Amino acid sequence: MKIKNKIVSVLMATCLVFSSFGFSRSFADSSKVVTIGVNNTAEQRQTILNYFGVKENEVEIVTVNNQEERAYLGKVATEEQLGRKTYSCAYVEPTTEGSGINVKTANITWVTSSMVATTLSTAGLTGANCVIAAVFPVSGTGALTGVMKAFENATGKNLDEDKKELASEELITTGDLGDDIGQDKATGIINDVKADIIKNNTSDKTQIANTINNITNNYNVQLTDAQVDKIVALMEKIAAQHYDYNEMKATLNNVSDVVKDNLKDAGEDLNNSGILDSIGSFFSGIGDWFSNLFSSSKDLGILGDTNDSMLGKDSIIDATDKAAENLPSKEEAEGFLTKIVNWFKSLFSSDSSDGGSDNNSNQNNGTTMTNPDSNNDNNNSNLNNSDNNTDSNSDANNNNENLDNNTNDNSDDQNQSNDNNSSDNTLNPEVQTDTEHFDTN
């Protein structure tokens, strides 16, 4: 029975372990491209590649410079936003068209993962995993340029130039609005207005303004006339592109959900969120937790391959899928698996030692039981011999009890030793991760 219970425990633990590491890939092999900001040093370049979890010969590597950023952002961004150097880097993996855009950022401060994801949908991407990072905190205005360049190289197809310019304008518009009302609210408003405009084929300026008013009310935001006019002008251009909502809805819906979750986590009380919605969100959250816990089909793609410890404990990590945030390093993951293996060993070592103790005890019992049978003739001879045999049997029984006690003591000592060994194994191996720091000045 003990063995059966332990086998069940092992099977359950195994399911938990493997569900935490998504091994399956839901899309076919495709080209992966890394863009490196041209102003990174050789050491910084290597750190970024280590963070992405790739080697020079495994991916195509191209550089991005400030002039390329200015080609798309020069008309809408300020000189301060553009800067003179490019440090942000990107790693892009195309996925199935229409599957959505997942983004992870590290040390990117002015734009968020959700902001980049919805902007990339405007650029014409419908399925991709993207990781954007820098060795120290940077604004990330150059990230969009890097991702678009990487995606074109990975797919061998050029994105529409008008859509790329429009995406760059959207990024700056959202970022500027975020400076005033917060990044999540700004992203949510632009994303939700865009989704409504595209879904309903809205092109009339007044109707666009009404849509903006309705959505800003949902976020409890009051925009200035200048801010509204700027968003209206952006949405008129988006409406003129005649996007296919079905191709974009996976990204747009996910961004909306992520933003609202972030705001709720921050204590924001969004409209249309009464007690029934709260209860529904609570049970939905429980369902998502169990789904993530036991589902082995969870696929983070390249978002799950990053080594977050490479950029230091103070690095700023953000992702459209929270499961991709602050992942353990390879060494930490191996250390965790070692602990699990040692735990399994301790279970079966303990069971083996229990079985051995039981066998020894049974053998001792069998030996003492043969003594009365060997003295039956003497018992028939005379009463004194019978008395002596009785005394002898009593002594034998006493000896038997002592043997049992000694066996149990030895079993307890052995089990205690196994427990101690298990505890020692659990503490090993010590995981040490080298972390490089860079001066941000």
Instruction: Please give the pLDDT value at position 142.
Output: 85
Cis status, amide bond into 429, omega within 30 of 0? yes
CB 197 within 8 Å of CB 258: no
Q: What is the pLDDT of residue 335?
A: 53
As a whole number of angstroms, the distance between CA 13 and CA 167 comes to: 46
Confidence at residue 410, expressed as pLDDT on a 0 to 100 scale: 42
Residues 171/144, Cβ–Cβ less than 8 Å: yes
pTM tops 0.75 = no
| Contacts of residue 206, Cβ cutoff 8 Å, sequence gap at least 6 | none
Q: Let me know: does 143 contact 88? Beta carbons within 8 Å.
A: yes
Polymer length in residues for the chain = 441
- Rounded Cα distance between 436 and 50, Å, is 11
pLDDT at residue number 31: 86
pLDDT of residue 270: 80
pLDDT averaged over 10-residue windows placed end to end, the chain, 441 residues: 52 47 40 95 97 94 95 92 94 96 97 98 98 96 93 96 97 97 98 98 97 97 97 98 97 97 90 44 47 53 93 93 76 54 62 53 45 43 42 44 43 44 38 35 34
Please tell me the chain's helix, strand, coil percentages from 3-state DSSP, rounded to the nearest 5. 65, 10, 30
Nearest to 39 by CA among 72, 88, 73: 88
Distance of CA 211 to the CA centre of its chain: 35
Token output for 178 = 């975020």
- C-alpha dist (Å) from residue 426 to 320, 337, 416: 34, 10, 15
Per-residue pLDDT at 430: 34
Ranges of each domain in the chain = 31-327
Cα(71)–Cα(82) distance, rounded to whole angstroms?
11
